[in-house]
Amino acid sequence: MRELQSYQGIRVGDELPELSQTVDQAMIDAYADASGDINPLHIDPEFAKTTFFGGTIAHGLLTLAFVSRVLSQWNWQGWAYGGELDVVFLGPVRPGDEVRVSGALELIEQRADGVYARCSLVCHCGGKAVVKGFAVSKL
Amino acid sequence: MTSYVKYNSMTEGEEFLDPPPSFQVSKEVVKKYLQSTQDVTVQLKQTTEVGECLAPPMLAAVYVIDALRTRVGPPGGIHGKQQFKFHRPAYIGETLYTSAQVLKLYEKKGRHYVEMATQTTNQQGELITTGMITRIWGQEP
């Protein structure tokens, strides 16, 4: 494994395309329907009021769908064929929040089967990070 | 209310999806997923050289969670961490099988955490996705 500073015009420090997505209850409900994940914490305001969160929150995996949109746009081939994602959920996304997904290349490495980029990732709601981690994509 | 699995009933190393449940990657499932996530990735509107239509990599969120439905905790549980490796996208029309294993059970700040590993293959045994999920178990009454 060998570290590179750049590869075919892509450099360490380059930023990924940024994405902003507003999440509302209708989107959360639609995702619950599409995914089959009908945990009442996401779709039942009365139940959600009784929980630690005090109201409904979006599915964590809905937020990751936005991350996947960014990586698909940036490097579809490398993301869909061999891409890796490793994230921690730090806080909730609530109806009405705008999720901002951003990331940057922190490492380019030559492996036995090709060149890979490791990108730091963060999703913010307002000034608060709600998801943090990294993705690996083949270049 | 849907029945749920108690934290104390699980054991580390337990492979709980035997046989692995199947999931049909239909046009409708993919369409609903793309609409709900507002995903307009161009490559998902095209067909491959041999005429296959691709599903988005993160459809894994649907078929993995579907497979893990037999190990759902009480309402109120949430996702703590998620890892995925996308070996290749699934094609519309494929049947996927997900196997899963409880890796680790632990308690932190009074809450129960469950780590599970998953592996998804198609009907021919080709690897589609591997993953690891950490769930914070909902409070049991």
ipTM: 0.91
pLDDT at B50: 67
Class of domain A2-23+57-138: alpha beta
Beta bridge partners of B85: A84, B130
As given in the structure block, the two tokens for residue B76 are: 């109120």
CATH assignment at residue B56: 3.10.129.10
> Is there a domain that residue B4 lies in?
no
**Predicted confidence band of residue B1 (pLDDT cuts 50, 70, 90):** very low
Give how far B104 is from chain A: nearest CA, Å.
Answer: 17
For tokens 């990735």, the residue is B41
B121-135 mean pLDDT: 95
Domain count, chain B: 1
Q: Which domain holds residue B110?
A: 10-136
pLDDT at B70 over 90: no
Q: Which of A77, A93, A100, A105 has its CA nearest to residue A42?
A: A93
B61 pLDDT exceeds 60?
A: yes
Residues with Cβ within 8 Å of B122's Cβ and at least 6 positions away in sequence, in order, are B90, B94, B95, B96, B97, B128
Task: Say whether B114 sits in a helix, a strand or coil.
Answer: strand
Residue B78 lies in a domain: yes
Answer whether A42's CB lies under 8 Å from A104's CB. Answer: no
Contact residues, chain A, for B56 at CB < 8 Å: 65, 68, 72
Is the residue at B92 inside a domain?
yes
Residue B17 within a domain:
yes
Give the C-alpha separation, A137 to A119, whole Å.
8
Write down the mean pLDDT value for chain A: 95
Pairwise CB contact (< 8 Å): B82 & A60: yes
Decide if B1 is inside a domain.
Answer: no
For B45-90, the DSSP string reads GSB-TTSPBBPPGGGHHHHHHHHGGGG--STT-EEEEEEEEESSPP
Nearest-CB residue to B36 (from A27, A60, A86): A27
φ, ψ at A39 (rounded to 5°) = -50, 125
Instruction: State the residue for tokens 């067909």.
Output: B47
- Which residue positions in chain A have pLDDT lower than 70? none
